[in-house]
Structure 1
Amino acid sequence: MDRVLHHFNEAFSLPLTNPVLVFTLVLFIILISPIILRPIKVPGIIGFILFGVLLGPHGLNWLSKIDRHSVNITGVDGIDLFSTIGLLYIMFIAGLELDMNEFQKTKNKSIFFGFCTFAFPIAIGFPVCYFLLGYELLPSVLIASMFATHTLVGYPIVNSYGISKKEVVAVTIGGTIITDTAVLVILAVIKGMSEGQIGPEFWITLGISLTIFLAVLFGIIPRIAKWFFSKIEAEKTAHYIFVLTVVFLSAFLAEMAGLEHIIGAFMAGLALNKLIPNSSALMNRIEFIGNAIFIPFFLISVGMLVDLSVLFSGAWALVIVGTLAVVSISGKFLAAAVTQLVFKYSNSQRNLMHGLSNAHAAATLAVIMVGYNSGIVDENVLNGTVALILISCIFASLLTEKASKAVVLEGNQEIEDMDHVEEREERILIPIANLNKMEPIIDFATLIKSKKSPYPLHILSVVTDNEQAERNVKIARKNLDSMVKYASGSETEVEMLTTIDYNIAGGIARTSKNLSAACVILGWPSATSFIEKIVGEKTESILNRTDTNLMMCRLDNPFLTHTSITIFVPPLAESEIGFEYWMEKMLKLGQELSLPICFICDRRTEAVIENTLKVMKTSVTALFKNYEDWDNIYGLATFSNVDSLLIFVSARHGEVSYRDSLDGLAKRVGRYYRNQNIILIFPKRRANSHHIDAYEDVPTAPIFRKISREIGNMFTKE
């Protein structure tokens, strides 16, 4: 009994040293902090810091730093390790989630705002720190540069109001790249000066090492990553481990180049930006693990450094906190105001920029932590910075919400929200043909599916109605379980459907109609016998029996192998009622994959597409190439390249844009482009547009048209 009590007292002696108990306590903090703060609408980041203050060495002393030279390895050492990972994780995700298309579209305005939001806070902050607060040169520059950083804490608010694609928001996001990168470079110089390393040799060494570092990071690592993701496609766990390896390798290389490791992590995010789509399973794993474990550990460890008694030890500490808050808010406001005057934004748009750029969190903590650990700034600044984070996050959230409401009242909602309400009702149906080909099709559907739709992806298995139907239904449902497991990797909600029908095409058509599916996504039609080609029981019948948008996909290669998207749009395709839908989906695909889109079309169609792009306000880079001889489909081969995702827009027989040259397009392009990913789009057609195919109750109904088509193909050179 005494031994048990002794063990109990030892385990719960303060500060806690039992690694299991420490880890349990930290996980408990991570669990309850958002729950407690959610009702009062306080960002979760603040809760983690507050718990760190409360339980840290200057609070209840449940968690405490220990002597690094101690031979005992405890759970608190784990906090140090996890907090370092969390800091790198924050910077990595910041680089990974930047919309490079948005930045390219508004880069000039973003550069201007980035300069303003970098220069004005420093211009105000430096004299205040140097002359008013009495700090020396290096600490004054470091603190002033800290004012220039900002974290987009208010972005979810903007997104919820439907104005996330407004130009003013894109400019603010682009400015984040400019100002945070500039501050991190200044941080490396300041640290070098504090260690007495500044001189001609320092600048030469820094220039050479930085050049080598950038060459490795943006020249070699993306190529290795592209090869790895494509060759080790089935090992999803290996993808995540590879990404972590790149992050920490980049952080280490940055240190070797004389920079801070956080710069390496940030640059790693930029290097992998185009290889990891935002809706992919890999991105979901990265964000989930980071937000669940590593980042909260870092924030808690920051709170553990704060000594609240310093804030209340005298008037000077309060002066520092007040000064930091006033300088930060005024500097960011001045940057937004000047940008407003230059680009003629409204007051509401100015306030929106101010709110988005005013919150200090990740990069601010990173800068001050480096300065504090290097002995450049003292505890007063550290504690004042943490107080600034609390103040700025709350102020920014309130201002962003107020400004977002004002922008909406001015009539600046997304056109997408007003004109495309059907996205909220979007249902996508994916019939299963070949289980081995389903994973890339689910990935594709996840990338193009509207985020506004509350409905899952509907995955359908049609079982032929015969004496084995009941047994086959059980087998089909068992096979569908693997699809559920795969889709869960990207948090994609799926619904498995099994139906019995005399005809597979009929079962798909009936299910599509019952669901009011906006789109049916099929695998590529497999090679069949000559008789089956003529009869066309599966693909042709599905096409004829459905009116909704239909996409056939051959996705044998990973999406990351592509450098562009090429869309072949025949004349009058803009007249089809499904034109707007497939345009939205392809633009969303381009945005998710960060790829430019090249449209191959005639002059009339080009003008309509250009107008549509303006209405949709997309950030995707769009190019146009003219082609007029659409009766010669094989002439399109001159516009394709081996690294491009090829998308052919066709039409059902009898529709406005249909022409004989589009007949049998899947077979012909599939044969010509054997090793490339291909998507074939059939836009939605008007309901009740009855012709012979509408009465296809048996597979042989269109046999005469199919026979004439096959005879015609015999005399066509391929």
Structure 2
Amino acid sequence: MLEHIQKAFEAPITNPVLAFALVLFIILLSPILLRPIKVPGIIGLIISGVIIGPHGLNWLEQNAAVRLFSTIGLLYIMFIAGIELDMNEFRKTKNKSLLFGFFTFIIPICIGFPVCHYILGYDLLPSILIASMFATHTLVSYPIVTSYGISKNEAVAITIGGTILTDTAVLIILAVITGASQGNINSQFWLTLALSFAVFLFIMFGIIPRIAKWFFQKIESEKTAHYIFVLTVVFFAAFMAEMAGLEPIIGAFVAGLALNKLIPHSSALMNRIEFIGNAIFIPFFLISVGMIVDVSVLFKGPMAIIIAVTLTIVAISGKFLAAWATQLSFKYSKSQRNLIFGLSNSHAAATLAVIMVGYSNGIIDENVLNGTIILILMTCIVASVVTENASKKIVLAGEQDHTGVEEIQEKDEQIIIPIANMDTMEPILDFATLIKSKKSPFPLNILSVVPDNDQAERNLANARKNLDNTAKYASGSETDVELISTIDHNIAGGISRTERELAANCLILGWPSATSFIDKIVGEKAESILNRTDANLFMCRFNKPFVTQKSVIIFVPPLAESELGFDFWMEKMILLATELSLPIQYVCNQRTEKAIVANLESLKTSVPVTFSNYENWDNINGLTSFSDDNAILVFVSARESEVSYRDSLDGLAKRIGRYYKNQNVILLFPSRIKNQHIDEYEDVQTAPIFRKISKEIGNMFTKEK
């Protein structure tokens, strides 16, 4: 028995279950132990890899399982960087990304080549290869940025954009140098490389998005299948890149870009992608990086130490100068410069690829290989510390996520979602998750109102069961929800009372269903809720998945900018478009357009915006000429007696339901001053009954067009 136990714990550990348990134990404890001394968890994982690796205690060796998980983690880092990239912000800053990519590519090479060729005495090809290695960087410290919520800061956006440019250039140089060392550089080599790269890009951006959109639309209910599909795309893209003569990390990043618009940043699918990657695969990769490090190389002679120190100094100084040049070019703050430096300083994935290929082809010697391993450890440590400190300063300075969507103070935001139809609840909850303020500490309030009758207790039990099902769905995107069930004389009264108790500023309802003639006379439920509440109200009908939508079209009537809730709904629609990476088209008159432009300037949004002029707002039917089957249609209305209200807006929900039967539509009513509703003390009446009777009688004798 003792011999069996002793054999199981012999180094290196060969039992896969015990080895996996050891790695998980390290992933769990490293960040916890280093947090009190303010050392980033990434450093703990790398150091842990050094300790347990073949060159340390030799508890774990670089076997096939470790290499597999490490490869997955490496691809995961690049994929998440691509999928979290704000494409609107990237388009806005693409010229800055190009310039940073040029700086972070050319400056390290210009420093590294003369150092390697003239000081260290290497030949032409090895010097070019080592110098190009200085230009690469891996986003090892990117998880730090995401944990601080500054992944959409412009400095991060241009660093990510520059990463793919410089790494692609370096890996192409690697292919050329490898070919040159083997005597294979000819016209056929260049033609093959160009064609294979073009085919790869066509498949990733021309075919994969179409397949993904079809899959997400047809297999909408199978959430697990969505995640498996995404992983399949990532590894297929990595393989395709390898076949094209590039490194797999380029394929993973391109896969993130290809799926970027199809996976909202606040969705349940994105939550699953980030959770599994940050919990398992990425830590595995960081530990495996540490396992490569052999500290003993420093004691194999002065030349090894000289090369290791020289390579490390050149690598760090080259990246710092590139960040400094970028700061001067775009007038960034010191914290943003350090953030760029921290993100771009760590050498791991592409660096290892360059050096290992060079070593296996006999281009570089063992001293450079060992020195590079030390360089990887030191740059990862420096990058982690600098990124952590810069991220803290950016958050403290209030510079995080300058997309403008959260400029309005929303610390007290309260959203209520009354349950009416469970079949339409999931897309409405997804919509609420997308527009919810990230600054608000309050959960989404899911409300079920049960009429006070003989079946009240039974209906209340059923309501709580429905609420539990809704909470399970919300947990997929880690959305906090508060479940509220209450009994009231009527549904509108219960919603109104809850709105006042929570001081809610937003209600999200499903689309009103057809009602009888009697219901129309005494007040439809939706209109009753509208008249009894003061908060911003969104009526939603989502017939199509969000991934199929290509734009957001917002119809804004005259004087809508004068309403109390104008800033609120403007911000929410910008946030929706940002999450879904969609452009916005506003349909309004010239005066309202000026107000919207001023609001957009204050929000500093990167969402592409266009305007279409429409002046005849007494003819609402004319808006049909602006509709698009693949757009989310947003109709801005107003409560009766408000500034922007006009007779043409009356009964708008009914007309929208008739004209736009198969489209995603949102009808929104801006908030108003408290206690202005006409039936505050009424239980049944929701509008002047005689006006409603005359209107319904008129409708009976009016033929619909």
Name the residue aligned to 1:63. 60
Q: Deviations over 1:506-558 (max 9, x none)?
A: 11111111111121111111122233233334111111111111111111211
Alignment partner of 1:614 is 2:601: yes
Instruction: Please name the residue that 2:45 is paired with.
Output: 48
Change (3 A) 1:454 1:209: same
Contact persistence 1:415–1:615 (CA under 8 A): no
Unaligned runs of 5+ in 1: 66-75
Match of 1:7 in 2: 4
User: What is the aligned partner in structure 2 of residue 697 from structure 1?
Assistant: 683
Q: Is the 8 A contact 2:85 2:157 kept in 1?
A: no
Distance in 1 between residues matched to 2:138 and 2:208, nearest whole Å: 27
Provide the residue aligned with 2:672 in structure 1: 685
Residues 104-115 of structure 1 aligned to structure 2 (within 5 Å)? 104-115=91-102
Q: Is 2:588–2:614's contact at 8 Å kept on the other side of the alignment?
A: yes
The worse-fitting range, judged by mean Cα deviation, of 151-160 and 325-334 is 151-160
Q: CA deviation at 1:623?
A: 1.1
2:197 aligned partner, one-letter code: L
Which of 185, 192, 196 pairs up with 1:198?
185
Aligned partner of 2:588 among 594, 598, 601? 601
**3-state SS of the aligned residue for 2:445?**
strand
Could you list the per-position Cα deviations for residues 445-495 of structure 1 after superposition, in whole angstroms to 9, with x for gaps in the alignment? 111111111111111111111222222222211122111111111111111
Instruction: Note if contact 1:49-1:300 (Cα within 8 Å) is conserved in structure 2.
Output: yes
Q: Which moved more, 1:107-116 or 1:642-651?
A: 107-116
**For 2:409, what is the secondary structure of its paired residue?**
helix
Counterpart of 1:15 in structure 2: which amino acid?
A: P
In 2 relative to 1, CA 370–476 (structure 1 residues): closer, same or farther, beyond 3 Å?
A: farther
Q: Which residue number corresponds to residue 325 of structure 1?
A: 312
3-state SS, counterpart of residue 648 of structure 1: strand
Cα distance in 2 between the residues matched to 1:555 and 1:165: 28
User: Equivalent residue for 1:482?
Assistant: 469
What's the Cα RMSD here? 2.8
| C-alpha distance in structure 1 between counterparts of 2:53 and 2:382, whole Å | 26
The correspondence of residues 15-164 of structure 1 with structure 2, limited to 5 A, is 15-65=12-62, 76-151=63-138
- Normalised by the size of structure 2, how large is the TM-score? 0.93
Structure 1 range deviating more: 211-220 or 103-112? 103-112
In structure 2, C-alpha distance between the alignment counterparts of 1:341 and 1:140, rounded to whole Å: 29
* Structure 1 pair 347–286 and aligned structure 2 pair: CA distance change class (3 A): closer
Q: Is the 8 A contact 2:13 2:19 kept in 1?
A: yes
Partner of 1:634: 621
Pick closer, same or farther for the CA change 1:468–1:377 going to 2, 3 Å.
Answer: farther
Answer whether contact 2:152 2:400 (CA < 8 A) is retained: no
Aligned equivalent of 2:513: 526
Q: Find the aligned partners of 1:485 and 1:373 in 2 and give their Cα distance.
A: 52
Q: Quick one: which amino acid aligns to residue 108 of structure 1?
A: N
Q: Aligned AA for 1:132?
A: I
SS in 1 for 2:539: strand
What are the residue-to-residue correspondences of 1:215-234 with 2, within 5 Å? Answer: 215-234=202-221
Equivalents in 1 of 2:505, 2:359: separation in Å? 56
Structure 2 unaligned runs (5+)?
none
The Cα of 1:594 is off from its aligned counterpart by 0.8
Percentage of pairs with the same residue = 71
Instruction: Trace 1:377-396 onto structure 2 (pairs within 5 A).
Output: 377=364, 380-396=367-383
Sort the Cα spacing of 1:207 and 1:391 in 2 relative to 1 into closer, same or farther, 3 A: same
Q: Cα distance, 1:354 vs. partner? A: 3.7
**Bigger mean CA offset, 393-402 vs 127-136:** 393-402
1:703 maps to a residue whose letter is I
CA shift, 1:165, in A, is 5.9
What is aligned with 1:72?
none
| Separation in 1, partners of 2:499, 2:188 | 69
Aligned partner (choices 646, 652, 656) of residue 659 of structure 1: 646
Aligned mates of 2:469, 2:454 — CA distance in 1: 26
Mean Cα deviation higher: 361-370 or 233-242: 361-370
Greater alpha carbon shift after TM alignment, 591-600 vs 348-357: 348-357
- How many angstroms does 1:342 deviate by? 3.8
Q: What SS does structure 2 have at the residue aligned with 1:425?
A: coil
Distance 1:160 1:292 in 2: 13
Aligned equivalent of 1:707? 693
Other structure's SS at 1:424 match:
coil
After alignment, is 37-46 or 237-246 more displaced? Answer: 37-46
Aligned residue identity for 2:29: I
How many Å separate the matches in 2 of 1:409 and 1:497? 36
Question: Is the counterpart of residue 646 in structure 1 residue 643 in structure 2?
Answer: no
Q: Is the 8 A contact 1:91 1:363 kept in 2?
A: no
| Aligned equivalents of 1:622, 1:695: Cα separation in 2 | 43
Q: CA deviation at 1:170?
A: 4.2
Amino acid at match of 1:435: M
Distance 1:253 1:354, change over 3 A: closer
Q: For residue 634 of structure 1, what is the amino acid of its counterpart?
A: N
Amino acid at match of 1:429: I
CA spacing shift, 1:397–1:306, aligned 2, 3 Å: closer
Range that drifts further, 143-152 or 491-500: 143-152
1:499 and 1:507 in contact (8 A); partners too: yes
CA distance in 1, matches of 2:136, 2:703: 64
Deviations 1:682-717 (A, max 9, x none): 111111334x34444214654333334435555475
Q: Counterparts of 2:282 and 2:321 in 1: how far apart (Å)? A: 31
The aligned counterpart of 1:303 is: 290
Equivalent pair of 2:413/2:504 in contact (CA under 8 Å) = yes
